[in-house]
Amino acid sequence: MSNLATVLALFFSIGTVVALLVLVRDVVTRRAGSSPVLLIGLGTLFIGERVLGEGDLRLPISGAGLLLVLGAVGLRAYAMSNSDGARREGHRLGLIWTSISVASLLLYAMSLDPVVGALGFEEAGRDRWVGVFQSLFPIVALIGLIPSFLIDRLLALHPIVMPAGASRSAQLSGLGAALAISLMFPVNYLANQHDLDWDVAYFRTTRAGDSTRALVSTLTDPVEVLLFFPSGNDVGREVLPYFEELVASSDDRMSVRMVDQALEPQLAEELKIRENGHVVLRQGESQQKFKLNTDLDRAKRELRKLDGTVQKNLLKLTRGQRTVYFLAGHGEANWRETENTFRKINIYKRDLLEGTLSVKVKTFGVADGSTNAVPDDASVVVVAGPTEPLLAEEITALQRYFDGGGSLLVMIDPEGDPLTELLSHLGVKPGAAVLANAEAHAQIQGGPADRVFIATNKYGSHASVKELSRNSSVAHMVFSTAMSVQKQEGTANKITTLIRSRPNTWEDLNGNFQADPGEPKKTFELAAAITKPMDDAAEGAPEEARAIVVGDVGYLSDVLISRLKANAVFSLDGFKWLTHDEEIVGAIETEEDVKVQHTREEDWIWFLAAVVAVPSMVLLVGFLFIRMRQRRN
C-alpha cells in the first residue's frame, strides 16, 4: 500500500474511533439514539466481508463490525430504560427497527459457504439459494436502518419533551423511504433482463498505426488499394483519409482510388466484387479483400478497428502465410482449457495470431513427430508452460531447431516442468519460486493471494518492447504466478532483458504471500530475448536464431490479454521480432473501449478517497455554511 493510502487508512481509522466515542458518550449522557453506531458497524462488516473478502484481516474486521452492531442494540436498550414518556416510546420503536437490521445478518449468514455446503445443494440449487439470501439481506438491513435514523433525528430535535405520536410518524416515513430505495433492486434486475441499447458513444475511425505505416514503408512491390463505395457514401469518406495517410508513408509504393461497383462492372467482375463496401488490396496477381457495411451506423464497430484489419490483410498479401506450431501433449496452456482461466489462451491464438497477424496455428506432439524434428514450415515454435516433462528426444529436436536458426517462444509454469535442459541450452535458467509484490500487483480476488499477480512497467531496450518502453508511464503488464528468468553463466548466446519486475518483489519460497526472512526484496528479470549468430547461414536464411523466454504463461491468458493492452502489445511485438519483422513492431491503432483495470494499491486509494475524502469535504462545506448562517443571525 502506498504512503498516501496508508495515511488515508490511518485517518479513517482514527476518525471512526473518535466518532464512536462521541456517539457512545451522547447515548450515555443525553439518551441519544444509536443508529450511527449501527451504521458504522454495518459498514465495518461490509469492509471485512466484501472489500477484504479473505486474508488475515477479514476475521478481526468483521468481528469488530459485528460487535459494533450488537453494541448498537445494547446502547439502544440502555437509552430506552433510562427514558420515559414519548422519548421512551421512540427508543422502543428504534430498538425494534435496529433488531430488524441485526436480523438481516442472519439472512447473510445463510449465504455463507459453510452453511450452504452443509445443506448439500446441487450447483443450480446452490446458486438460487445464495442469490435469494444475498438479495434479501441488504433490503432487510435498509428497512431497519432508515426508520432508526429518522427516529433518532426526531429524538435529537426534542431532547426534553417529544410530541406524542411523532415517533410513529417518523418510522412510517422511514419505512416508506426504505421500501422506495429497495425498489431499485428489482428494477435493476428487470433492466438487466430487458436491456435496451442506445448508441451515444464516442466514435472515430482509427488512424494508421505506427506498425502499419512501417509495414507500408517496407513494401518492395507496389500495392493498389481499391475502395468500392458509391459516390458520397459516408463510410467511404471515413475510410479514404486512412489510406491516404498510408500512401503518404509508402514512398509511392501504394496508391488508392474510390470505385463504384455499379459504374465499373468489368473491374468488379475481374475482382469478384458483387456489391459496394469491399476494400481490395492488390499486389501483382495477388489480392486480399475485406467487407465493410455501407451504412455508417452499422459500420462504426468495424471502423474503430480498421487499422488492425488492414494490417492483417497487408501481412497476408506481402509476407505470405506464416505457421506457428504449439508443442502439445505435456499439459501446455491451450485455447481449449476449461479448468484454469489463467491457462486459456484462445484470444491470443484466435484474435492476435490468426486474426491480426494472419498466422496459421498448428499443434504438434509425439504423434506428429515432435521427437524427430520441428516441421520445415515452422516460423515459430511455442512451448506454452508444460506441466509434464518433455521427452529427451523432444528437447533435442527443439535444441537442433534453434541451433539451425529457428525461433522459439518458451514460457515457464512454476507448477510444471522447469524446462531446465532446454533453457540451459538457450542460455538462461528459471528462478526458485513464484514472485510476489505487496504493492505492485493487480486485484483479482482480494486478499494477500493477489500479490502473485505482479504488475510492472519496467521494460528493457529491445525491438520487442520498443512500443512498451516508449509508453511505459501507461503501459502496465500483469503476470500471474511468474518466475524470474536469469542469465546462465558462461553462455555464448546474447541475452537481453526485456521486462523487469517493480522494486520490492520477492521470491515466495514458502507460498504464504509474505516477505519472510530469507526472501529478500529486489528487482527480478521476467522475460529475456536470446540470439545466436548463424555464421554459415545460407542465402535468404535467417542470420541468427532467436528465442524469447518468459517466466509466466498467464500473461497470454484470455482474462489478462483482453483487459490489458500492454500484454497484447508485447505478445504481438514479441512474435514479430521472432519472425524477423522487427521493423514493423508498434501499436495497432483502435478506438474500441477498453475496461479500466486498477492495481490493489489504486483500488485502496479510490476506496478510501470515496469513503473519507469526499464525505469529509461535504461535511466541511456543510459546517462552514452553518457557521456563516449562525453569524448572520
Q: What is the pLDDT of residues 372-415, one digit of tens each?
A: 999 999 999 999 999 999 999 999 999 999 999 999 999 999 98
Q: Look at the alpha carbons of 501, 505, 509, 511 in this order and tell me if their dihedral is positive or negative.
A: negative
CA 474/CA 482 separation, integer angstroms: 21
Lowest mean pLDDT among 95-104, 463-472, 610-619: 610-619
pLDDT band at 202 (very low <50, low <70, confident <90, very high): very low
pLDDT attached to residue 200: 42
- Of the segments 187-191, 195-199, 304-308, 432-436, which one has the largest average pLDDT value? 432-436
b/e 517-535 (16+ beta carbons within 10 angstroms → b): eebeeeebbbbbbbbbeee
Averaged pLDDT of the chain: 84
Q: What pLDDT score does 602 carry?
A: 63
Q: At 209, is the secondary structure helix, strand, or coil? A: coil
| Interval 486-499: pLDDT, tens | 999 999 999 999 99
Q: Is the pLDDT of residue 132 over 90?
A: no
User: Hey, what's the torsion of the CAs at 380, 385, 387, 393, to 10 degrees?
Assistant: 30
How far apart are the C-alpha atoms of 406 and 410, rounded to whole Å? 13
Q: What is the mean pLDDT of residues 415-444?
A: 93
Dump pLDDT digits (tens) for 23-62. 666 556 666 677 788 888 888 888 777 676 666 777 888 8
If one counts every other C-beta atom within 10 angstroms of the C-beta of residue 127, the result is 12
**pLDDT, tens digit, for every residue of 157-172?**
777 777 777 778 877 8
- Distance separating alpha carbons of residues 113 and 134, to the nearest angstrom: 12
- For residue 387 the three cell numbers come to 506441466
CATH topology agreement for domains 210-317 and 321-584: no
The residues near 282 (Cβ < 8 Å, ≥ 6 apart) are 223, 224, 225, 226, 271
Query: Which uninterrupted H or E stretch holds 544?
Result: strand 544-550
Q: Output the pLDDT for position 496.
A: 96
Residue 40's nearest CA partner among 24, 59, 56 is: 24
Written as nine digits, the cell of 244 is 491516404
CA 200: distance to chain centroid? 25
Comparing 553 with 88, which gets the higher pLDDT?
Answer: 553
> What one-character DSSP code corresponds to residue 120?
T
Given a cut of 60, whether residue 186 has pLDDT beyond it is yes
Task: State percent of the chain over pLDDT 90.
Answer: 44
| Sign of torsion over alpha carbons 24, 25, 30, 36 | negative
CA atoms of 126 and 128, how far apart (whole Å):
5
Question: Using CB atoms within 10 A of its CB, is residue 571 exposed (0-12), middle (13-18) or buried (19+)?
Answer: buried
CB count in 10 Å sphere of residue 628: 10
pLDDT at 1: 46
State the pLDDT at residue 14.
66
Check: CB of residue 147 under 8 Å from CB of residue 182: no
Residue 514 and residue 316: Cα distance in Å, rounded? 49
Report pLDDT for 560.
Answer: 94
Using the predicted structure, report yes or no on whether residue 617 has a pLDDT greater than 50. yes
pLDDT in tens, 102-116: 888 888 888 887 887
Among all chains, which residue has been given the C-alpha cell 450488537? 70
Over the stretch 240-287, which tens digit does the pLDDT of each residue have?
A: 999 999 999 898 999 999 999 999 999 999 999 999 999 999 998 899
Q: Is the pLDDT of residue 198 over 60?
A: no
pLDDT at residue 408 in the model: 97
The distance of Cα 235 from the centroid of its chain, to the nearest Å, equals 33
Residue 317 CB contacts under 8 Å (≥ 6 apart), including other chains: 223, 281, 283, 286, 287, 288
pTM above 0.85, yes or no: no
Per-residue pLDDT tens over the stretch 170-182: 778 878 887 888 7
Q: Which helix (H) or strand (E) holds 530?
A: strand 525-533
Spell out a b/e string for 358-394, using b for 16 or more CB atoms within 10 Å of the CB, else e: bbebebbbeeeebbeebeeebbbbbbbbbeebbeeeb
Nearest to 450 by CA among 342, 551, 558, 549: 342
Find all residues with CB under 8 Å of 407, minimum gap 6, and list them. Answer: 379, 380, 381, 542, 545, 546, 547, 578, 579
Query: SS3 of 91, please?
Result: helix
Give the closest residue to 253 by CA, choosing from 231, 223, 232, 279: 223
Question: Comparing C-alpha atoms, which of 91, 105, 23, 28 is closest to residue 63?
Answer: 105
- Percent of the chain exceeding pLDDT 70 equals 87
Q: Rounded to whole angstroms, how far apart are CA atoms 405 and 362?
A: 20
Amino acid sitting at position 8: L
E strands along 243-399, which residues?
254-259, 278-283, 286-291, 322-327, 359-364, 380-384
Q: How far apart are CA 109 and CA 400, in angstroms?
A: 61
Pairing assessment for the beta strands 407-411 and 544-550 based on DSSP bridges: parallel
Please determine, looking at this structure, whether the domain spanning 321-584 carries the CATH number 3.40.50.
Answer: yes
pLDDT the model gives residue 627: 72
Q: Say if residues 331 and 379 touch (Cβ distance below 8 Å).
A: no
Between helix 123-157 and helix 85-109 the angle, nearest 10°, is 160
Q: If residue 50 lies in a helix (H) or strand (E), which one and from where to where?
A: none
Q: Which fold has domain 210-317?
A: Glutaredoxin (3.40.30)
- The packing angle between helices 166-182 and 123-157, to 10°, is 150
Query: In which band, very low, low, confident or very high, does the pLDDT at 588 lie, cut at 50, 70 and 90?
Result: low
Question: Are residues 577 and 196 in contact, defined by beta-carbon separation less than 8 angstroms?
Answer: no
d(CA 513, CA 619): 39
Provide the pLDDT for residue 29: 60
Q: Of the given ranges (3-12, 108-117, 236-245), which has the lowest mean pLDDT? A: 3-12
Residue 579: DSSP 8-state: T
Q: Where does the pLDDT of residue 346 fall: very low under 50, low under 70, confident under 90, or very high at 90 and above? A: very high
As a whole number of angstroms, the distance between CA 152 and CA 162 comes to 12
Domain range summary for the chain, segments of one domain joined by +: 31-196, 210-317, 321-584
